[in-house]
Structure 1
């Protein structure tokens, strides 16, 4: 899959995926005024225009990346796992299926969840990604 930001200064290439997940946490909603539409890839991600990427460490465990020219949200980077979660909006030509929703306990009342998606609360997400002892 190939995608780019609104102004075209940053482009990204990654393996093809067909599923998108939503994050309803308060930080994602503040960042984008709605849930983050997230693409998880397991293979290499190649960015062009990296000099235009600004990173903001939004928590102890994550950074958010955006284009410094147009402000397009590019990724959420999970620091402990060294994993990029890409914004689905970068790939407007793709036909994604909504597969999962996380932080459903933080979702505001003014929009509905997909009844067929896999759902996890904040506690369930933190338990899944907690370091194994």
Structure 2
């Protein structure tokens, strides 16, 4: 069933609403996505361009001859991947206000994936509120932890 979902950048300057039909998402591991995000992969939700409404258009960068990437020039949040000749686009899963519903269904750009980063569930895990140095910094600056 179609559902309207909202999202945007870290600072709130760029916001969007998208009509989402399903929970499918994917991970892209290509070198362009790695360089665009500084990460080993990026999670995307593919949608028709026509179902996305921007409160404020993202800034865009021509990342290759075939596509551009939407981002916020104020805070740097990556928001989209948009092929020039396609009626669909990718929204970054992390930019949704409620990204928890999405489930990865495939990998793309696997020629450059880092297999050691695919399943890290065996590694020790610490919550932000259990990290004394991070808690101290937040408490000293704003008196509370981020929501």
TM-score with structure 1 setting the length: 0.76
Does the CA contact (< 8 Å) of 2:10 and 2:75 recur in 1? yes
Question: Secondary structure, in 3 states, of the residue corresponding to 1:80?
Answer: coil
Q: Deviations over 1:70-103 (max 9, x none)?
A: 1111100111114321010111423111111111
Counterparts of 1:114-133 in structure 2, within 5 Å, are none
Q: How many residues align?
A: 111
Partner of 1:28: 33
Query: Whose radius of gyration is greater, 1 or 2?
Result: 2
Counterparts of 1:44-63 in structure 2, within 5 Å, are 44-50=51-57, 53-63=58-68
Partner of 1:5: 9
TM-score with structure 2 setting the length: 0.69
Which of 63, 66, 72 is 1:67 aligned to?
A: 72
Counterpart CA distance in 2 for 1:111 and 1:80 is 32
Partner of 1:108: 114
Question: Secondary structure, in 3 states, of the residue corresponding to 2:64?
Answer: coil
Does the CA contact (< 8 Å) of 2:8 and 2:97 recur in 1? no
Which of 93, 98, 101 is 2:98 aligned to?
A: 93
Partner of 1:19: 24
Partner of 1:127: none
Partner of 2:145: none
Regions of 4+ moved over 6 Å = none
Higher helix fraction (1 or 2): 2
User: Aligned-residue CA RMSD in angstroms?
Assistant: 1.5
Which residues of structure 2 form unaligned runs of 5+?
120-147
**How much does 1:31 deviate?**
1.4
Question: Secondary structure, in 3 states, of the residue corresponding to 1:56?
Answer: strand
Q: Deviations over 1:6-56 (max 9, x none)?
A: 011111111123111111000101111121210111352111122xx2211
Counterpart CA distance in 2 for 1:30 and 1:110 is 18
